[in-house]
Amino acid sequence: MVESSEKLQFETFEAFHDWALQHEARAEWVAGKLIVLTNHQGESLVSVRRIHQKLQLFLSRLLVSWLEENALGGEVLGPEFAVRLSSRPSGREPDVFYVSPEQLPLLNDTYLDTAPALCIEIVSPESADRDFNDKFQEYEAAGISEYWIVDPDDHAIFFYRLADNGRYRRILPQDGTYTSRAVPGLTLQTAWLWQDPLPTLREIGRFWEARESL
């Protein structure tokens, strides 16, 4: 197992990232301190529930489908991929994030060296404070255009968009539908996330086609 996170500190992102690669560990780095998420065997040190995995995969597939159907470019990554942020500074691993075409030159083999256009975090019992407070402040300060927080326990999703003053403003869906700016034209029905089973990409595609025909 990796060394205790309480004993390890790194002055730079590069030192932290080299350590994480060497130990094959999922980890985050905040203001010099290490937060270890897995050991060297890839075993999770935090609880990940089935609903968390399902929503993470669903949202990733939804974003990729929209990008491909509209030839928008960019890339969807997460959660085992590092993002280097200037705020605090920190190195985070968002559950899902979107790298716009303009940001691709800063996408390296093992980390993104800039703030992505969109970050999505899926709340688990142990991550609520980080997602709603620590990461909210870091993502806002780093200039991430949109931040979505998905709360499976309360069947809620919170959409935040960076305003002209550099602060996040919560955007409420209209008739249950949210339209993104960070991912141009993407529309998401919030009810999709709580369906059992989750909607297929074919069903979502029909919804998108119907909206385009209006």
- Mind listing the pLDDT tens digit for each residue in 125-170? 888 999 999 999 999 999 999 999 999 999 999 999 999 999 999 9
pLDDT of residue 38: 55
Report the chain's mean pLDDT, rounded to a whole number.
89
The whole-model pTM stands at 0.85
Per-residue confidence band for 25, with pLDDT thresholds at 50, 70 and 90 = confident
Kindly report the three-state secondary structure assignment for every residue of 122-166.
ECCCCCHHHHHHHHHHHHHHHCCCEEEEEECCCCEEEEEEECCCC
Residue 186 has pLDDT above 90, yes or no: yes
50-212, what's its fold? tt1808, chain A (3.90.1570)
pLDDT of residue 7: 55
Residue 46 has pLDDT above 90, yes or no: no
Domain spans in the chain, listed from the N-terminal domain onward:
1-46, 50-212
